[in-house]
Amino acid sequence: MSAPVSTASTANPADSPVVRRGALLALVRLSRWTAILAVLALLVVGVYTAVRSSLGVQARPDAYRPEVGFAAQPAGRPRPPRVGIVAGHWGYDSGTVCADGLTEQEITLDIARRVKRLLEARKLQVDLLQEFDPRLTGYVADALVSLHVDSCEYINDIATGFKVARSVASYTPEAEDRLVDCLIESYGAATGLGFHENSITPDMTSYHTFSEVAPETPAAIVEVGFLHLDRGFLTGQPDRVARGVADGVACFVESR
């Protein structure tokens, strides 16, 4: 025999019209408050942004984003692009040495100084750096290029031309590839020297400076020529050598 009590105990209280109506009202009230809070939040953000922009405050103007490089500067406060040029071996050792005493370091310093003058004429800020310059630790710039020269020993009859490489463990491979491409194109055009595509060594791709500078600083190393077969050109036409490097740096910096 079933009693009326047992029927009542199996019914779902939520099915009651009164309960359903109460839940609906609670939901309506909740969404009203949510909408009011959202409007208030939008108002606060709007006022905050308006005040910041009226004061000329920019969100991290020097923030680096790998896909686009350094953020654009606020109008009226232009920041000249900054680049570092390392004169290979300068302040450390002589690098490769020719039989008559000419050293790689003499060539790299001479070229680096010319590159600095050319880039400064283009309104870039240039740091002339030594091989193990203390400023290289955490160095932040739009680009860094280190200049070296290949051996003064006779290797073979095709040991002529230049090489360009970036870090094998690049933090910004897209930017560094563009820097490398700019240098290859500009240096080849200015000097007429050939690019040694297949003789890039781990000495170049794991060059110590790559791990010293700030990871977001695009960096490359250039072997500007072979000191044996290209000596006449490197010492006789240093302005063309420097123009090739400077054009490559400018090509990269101006494309950002």
Q: Which is nearer to Zn ion, 227 or 249 (CB)?
A: 227
CB of 105 to Zn ion, least distance (A): 8
CB of 150 to Zn ion, least distance (A): 8
Q: Which is nearer to Zn ion, 97 or 214 (CB)?
A: 97
- Find the residue with minimal CB distance to Zn ion: 148
CB of 184 to Zn ion, least distance (A): 19
Q: Which is nearer to Zn ion, 88 or 244 (CB)?
A: 88
Q: Which is nearer to Zn ion, 71 or 97 (CB)?
A: 97
Q: Which is nearer to Zn ion, 88 or 218 (CB)?
A: 88
CB of 75 to Zn ion, least distance (A): 43
Instruction: Please give the residue ranges that form the binding site for Zn ion (CB under 5 A).
Output: 88, 95, 148
CB of 76 to Zn ion, least distance (A): 43
Q: Which residues of 180-217 are buried (b: 16+ CB within 10 A; e: fewer)?
A: bbbbbbbbbebbebeebeeebeeebeebebbebbebbb
